[in-house]
Structure 1
């Protein structure tokens, strides 16, 4: 629907509604009871007009006094024949306009002589709301009312009995307090809702209600109790300005709503300026004459109505969502209220009662719509607390609530947690939206299969029953009711694995991965629901071995996990407070027996944990992110000790192990340069040992990383050679200075032909690549002789020395650095010149 058709519809509807308001106003006016009499314009006091009354009454024809227009600064006499009124028992005369500048009541005899000037001092508060006079004199034949106002206005003169007038007053006061109380209560509700939720719609409703309340109070003559003519007059005119402001607030809300839905373009944003201009014009019209103000306010109300209709139909034509009935109801209520206000401008007080009824209905409608919306928001928020936003599955909170019920009833049950590993890869490859859709489809396939098994229903709603809960981004849970039976768990595991075996496909990319499963039982493994979830997560965290598809909670795994956590926590403190130490294991030239150097080995003796082996805390340091600090500490200490070692043995080689993750650090070569310059060490005497698995570490450019260290001058060794998958081409490409044979091939070399073959081949490969070989784990002379015969240059192991603390190693070095420690003569006999001073 284009804008032209929208505007055409708006104007047609506006014309139709205006005609309806005129017809409704006419019908209301026709139904009003009338009081007939004579209207005599005269700015004269009673004494001067008295001689003319009989002549005026005899010459003028009767007119309807219930609706009379009066001009500003012009006095008027209303003359009523009391004996000829249809209400013969009427003893109260009143005016329906309480805003007049001057209003005086008189009673006259049949000769138009003044009987008494009515004094309503005893009823002055009622008189402020409904000016009136009681006709006590039995001989009263005529009633005269003198009226003067500073602006053009409308008014009516009416008669009633005392009982009817009392009922009228009571009705007006009751309606006033009820409507005013309802408006104040609605304002309090809207303000409270905004204070709690800070929703913009409640703020707009608050502004609308304040404008309506102000207009209502002015219309009911609240300021008439202040005897200030100018203020009262200005205040009365402000009544119509508040009507325009109330419509402006509604229009602003529609614009805000359309902007929040991205339905308004930049050009249509100028509607805000137009609404503001009409609002300012309505406020400024208070200083105009009343006739001029009515014209301005009528134009502003019409313009606001056109804009409101335009915005509404524009929303209908552009919204892609289902049209909300409450939105249409609010729009219709505002339109009807506007038409009623326009009718009030035409007919004055004649439609005021209908306006009050409509005002009550609209306010109740708006507040109910707001409360219903807030109720929906509360329900949605409560739902979000117990359900996952992406998949709409029950979340951890709802699962724990159901488990609590099982614990209270002491029903035995098991919690099966599963984590499809494919989800993490799929999110990285395909994005969250596609994966969440796939999860819904997969869970939709899994639920019917689980329903036939002894699985607890976590939630039942209009969408059906749900037996799967989502604990976190990739972990799901199922509750098995009854005693723990391994066959039942195996059946569930088979079902889950079969469903996820299909994997996830997107744009011809298909991902298939395993499912990790952990199980914990109540009351076997836990006594509370929270503890049961914790046990299930601990079982899920166990690394599966070959052939294992699921894990039952095991207290031994928990103890190991807790120890790992304690180690990770204590490791940072150990680095800061120097609880670590370096040991040094000598490396010996096999042919000459001279000291080649030493390998720096890290040791940790914790006050509470005891001796923590490197095989345990090094992986923990890598997984917890402490490995960088640990490596810096080792390098700093090793090079500081190397300074003292080279003072005793200038050609001493220090070997330092480095982690694969350390190769990614660009600041580590800088640290080497700084320390080498500080201690004035020869870089060629520093050997960095990388495990074979580290050289194959995924995501690391090994060659470029090693070149950074070669530029410094340090040498590179590949450690634990033979345990990985390095090829000869790979070794040639990397260009290692040293190849270390792992001790598992050395310790049994005398009896194992396979180990002999591996060691001999390694030595041959090293010679062909220009590298020398270091053998680890030499524990006897026979192993040393074998390796020496294969061409192995350097060896280390318990046969030479155990790893020694720095002070002990320096003592050992002083005793052995000059002599030929171990050599092999031509007869193959081993001569030990060191004696039995082995560590």
Structure 2
């Protein structure tokens, strides 16, 4: 931004220097000009035949001012100048400041109107085509005659000067021409650079405007004569005024575009674009018309553009609530002034070319200044947006890091306090972003006022006051506490934050109570850099609060646990892809007959670096990280593959598969079951889906509909860990589970606990009344098994029968058990191999 300002000042100073130089040169030209008077003789004849007319004119006609004379179309004019009345010198120069005359000749005559020899145009001969002139010998010449003709109505300006003055005149005009051309090219390069850097449409309009002004200036100075044939100068003269109309049209388009972008112009006013385009096209086509028609068209077009620019400007002033920037006012005044002088030059025929040159410089100054000021404001806005939040205008993370870096460079101790109002996300969903953002602004201003008296870091000071609160993201804010870590100081800030947010958010008689999560980290105790300090604060903020805790200090143990969870989540994805998981089976035994009822498929994970990872650890991580769907599909697929092999030796075998609550509502999971059951030719009734009680209580209506989808397939449903949740009899009756599993915490101590005995007996009674059978987990001795048999429990599993086995070991266990004779008693079966506690 500083560089842009310096560049703008440099351009501004250079343009002022050009303006001063052109003005000084114009004054010098005006001072050196000599008023030329003489006789005007219209005659279409050669010098020989026109000589008597010239001699007669000096005796019968009155002298006229030859510095600005109107000539008619296709009419030859003779201009006679009495050189004896002017200052004597050895050589003099007569010239015309008209580059587009169709014909011009210079003659030097003695007292008797006889031709004298003239000097060659040795002074700047290349200038003769732009500034026609002739050098004559003042000692012998008494009369100077100029013969001129043009294809259309035109104006001729005749001047008389010395050779030295003419050389100064040429040099001055050349210098002014070079300065103005250089200025216009500089303006074009600035507008082009701005467009390349910012892609602003305004820059394109300025490029077109400066292009039109450049073309008009080159034509006005006759520089295009070098590239034209004998018949083209008239076209160039007319095209000069067409370029003036086009330049004003471009400015009008720019103004209309701006008003449209500000939604100020109404739809019906868009036809102004059509009017501007129409007058622009007519102005260009008028170059093919006669001079009189061209004059009328250009005059009307310039008048229309002037009226339109004034209308747009005053319409803008009357329909905008904002103050009009002074640079736009400067531009409007410059354009209006330029248009008025263009019209004056065209209508009156006055010689205002020097004034027009000054106005070109003035317009360039106005437009470049406006463009650079606009870009400066845009850069400031862009810089502001980089360091502030768009919605609340609070400082953002970038500005916070800058302030923290300055504290770290000073080695000053400080603590970052991050807080997250828990109600914001819910409020946005119910009240909308606009209302919540307004609430945030009011609340943060109130909080900032209370924090102003505390020892907190001032992140920013502006016209709005003291800024100490930073918005890190959509719902997280930060405050920096200066000084060494003091719990009392942190408690004080926490109390202020909680008190400010205690009122919650109210909208249309709806009120949401707010709660604030707060995390704290300290420099240099917890971090050595500003970025690391923010990271530590976020880690402290992410810790789930315990009952009664209002804030958390960063703890390295929590970070270690969090990093382990991240490592597990990352490794779990690879474990699924590279088949690092395995299924173990724990047999389920019919307690009445001693026969194998089935087996529960249990997921196991042995990682090369992490070692054995229990399901209680990686299943919640899989659910939170979104990997649970892939994991469930792998378990179901692998379990049914194994079931295919098991049913080859035990057709009645029932495999129990645990399913996550998050996967229960997936519509594609029943399709997966149908596909696999059909592929492996399995009986759906031999598949048991086990759902935890907490999972079945999640959104009960949808759960029931989901369970019906599985029942249509033929798959059976079991409720696992029964007794640990809050299921009611009505709920169990509505769900209609095929199997109820008693959690092992009620079974393992059943022999000694009256409460556990009551729970197990009641569960068996409930299952019988609902038409379900009961499976007891955690049976580890015969006494527990006998009690459960007495309660009516049908199926049991636990270490008393077998611990969970790998698939190959489970197949061996099945073959060994199935090898026992049918006449073997239940006690003999247990003794001969059913009880695998000591064998596996």
Distance (Å, rounded) in 1 between the aligned partners of 2:434 and 2:593: 69
Cα distance, 1:791 vs. partner? 2.1
TM-score by length of 1: 0.92
Could you tell me which residue of structure 2 aligns to residue 406 of structure 1? 407
Q: Which residue of 1 aligns with 2:191?
A: 190
CA drift of 1:585 comes to 0.8
1:704-731 CA distance string (max 9 Å, x none) = 1000000111111111112222111111
C-alpha deviation, 1:420, in angstroms: 1.2
Shift in Å, 1:319: 3.1
The 1-side partners of 2:235 and 2:811 are apart by: 105
CA contact (8 A) 1:821 1:833 kept: no
Larger displacement relative to structure 2 (202-211 or 103-112): 103-112
The answer for the alignment partner of 1:739 in structure 2 is: 740
Q: Any conservation in 2 of the 1:516–1:540 contact (CA below 8 Å)?
A: yes
Deviation at 1:161, TM superposition (A): 4.1
Structure 2: how far apart are the matches of 1:640 and 1:52?
Answer: 125
Alignment match, 1:19: none
Cα 1:678–1:139, aligned 2, differ >3 Å: closer, same or farther? closer
- What root-mean-square deviation, in Å, do the aligned CA atoms of Structure 1 and Structure 2 show? 2.5
Larger mean Cα displacement after TM superposition, 545-554 or 154-163? 154-163
Which stretch shifts more, 310-319 or 171-180?
310-319
- Counterparts in 2 of 1:676-687, with a 5 A limit? 676-687=677-688
CA contact (8 A) 1:591 1:788 kept: yes
SS at match of 1:258: helix
* Contact 1:781-1:830 at 8 Å conserved across structures: no
Contact 1:518 1:551 in 2 (8 A): yes
Deviation at 1:503, TM superposition (A): 1.1
Matches within 5 A, 1:745-784: 745-784=746-785
The CA distance in 1 between the partners of 2:120 and 2:286, in whole Å, is 36
CA distance in 1, matches of 2:834, 2:688: 30
* Separation (CA, whole Å) in 2 of partners of 1:342 and 1:780: 114
**What is the aligned partner in structure 1 of residue 70 from structure 2?**
69
Q: CA deviation at 1:628?
A: 1.2
Report deviation, 1:758. 2.2
Q: Is the 8 A contact 2:817 2:834 kept in 1?
A: no
Corresponding residue of 2:48:
47
How far apart, in 2, do the equivalents of 1:457 and 1:403 lie?
Answer: 11
Comparing 281-290 with 611-620, greater Cα deviation is found at 281-290
CA distance in 2: counterparts of 1:280 and 1:831, whole angstroms = 107
1:202-221 superposed matches below 5 A: 202-221=203-222
Q: Which residues in structure 2 correspond to 1:542-691 (within 5 Å)?
A: 542-691=543-692
Question: Which deviations, in whole Å up to 9, do the C-alpha atoms of 1:438-479 show, x marking residues without a partner?
Answer: 111111111122222221111112221211111111111111
Could you tell me which residue of structure 1 aligns to residue 469 of structure 2?
Answer: 468
Whether the 8 Å CA contact 1:92–1:135 is kept in 2: the answer is yes
Aligned to 2:8: none
Kindly state the Cα deviation for residue 203 of structure 1 after the two structures are TM-superposed. 0.6
1:792 positional shift: 1.9
Decide whether aligned partners of structure 1 residues 71 and 117 sit closer, same or farther in structure 2, where only a CA change above 3 A counts: farther
Give SS of 1:72's match: coil
Rounded to whole Å, the distance in 2 between the matches of 1:654 and 1:401 is 61
CA contact (8 A) 2:741 2:774 kept: yes
CA-to-aligned-CA distance 1:362-386 (integer Å, 9 cap, x gap):
1111001101111111111111111
CA distance 1:786–1:167, shift in 2 (3 Å): same
**2:423 maps to what in 1?**
422
Unaligned runs of 5+ in 2: 1-29
Which secondary structure does the structure 1 equivalent of 2:101 belong to?
coil
Q: Deviation string for 1:286-318 (max 9, x for gaps)? A: 122222211211122222223333333333343
Paired position in structure 1 for 2:111: 110
Structure 2: distance between partners of 1:741 and 1:624 = 30
SS at match of 2:600: strand
**Alignment partner, residue 3 of structure 1:** none
CA deviations on 1:727-774 (whole Å, 9 max, x unpaired) are 111111111111111122222223333322222222222222111111
Instruction: Report the 3-state secondary structure (helix = DSSP H, G, I; strand = E; otherwise coil) of the residue aligned with 2:85.
Output: coil
Q: 1:46 to 1:563 in 2, by over 3 A?
A: same
Question: Are 2:801 and 2:836, in contact at CA under 8 Å, matched by a contact in 1?
Answer: no
Contact 1:396 1:471 in 2 (8 A): yes
Contact 1:387 1:398 in 2 (8 A): yes
Q: Report the counterpart of residue 285 of structure 1 in structure 2.
A: 286
Alpha-carbon shift at residue 622 of structure 1 (Å):
1.2
3-state SS in 2 of match to 1:648 = coil
Contact 1:35 1:66 in 2 (8 A): yes
Distance 2:271 2:823 in 1: 97
Greater CA drift, 174-183 or 299-308: 299-308
Q: For residue 647 of structure 2, give the secondary structure of its aligned residue in structure 1.
A: helix
Residues 166-181 of structure 1 mapped to structure 2, 5 A cutoff: 166-181=167-182
Q: Summarize deviations over 1:102-141 as a string: whole Å, max 9, x none.
A: 2222222233222334532443223333323344332432
Residue aligning to 1:22: none
Matches within 5 A, 1:233-632: 233-348=234-349, 350-632=351-633
Note if contact 1:676-1:682 (Cα within 8 Å) is conserved in structure 2. yes
Shift of 1:329: 2.9
Which SS does the other structure have where 1:196 is aligned? helix
Indicate the SS of the match to 2:519: strand
Unaligned runs of 5+ in 1: 1-28
- Moved >6 Å (runs of 4+): 86-90, 819-825
Change (3 A) 1:97 1:831: closer
User: 1-side partners of 2:228 and 2:707: how far apart?
Assistant: 97
Is 1:128 matched up with 2:129? yes
1:323, distance to aligned residue in structure 2 (A): 3.2
1:87–1:347 Cα change, 3 Å: farther
Contact 1:692 1:723 in 2 (8 A): yes
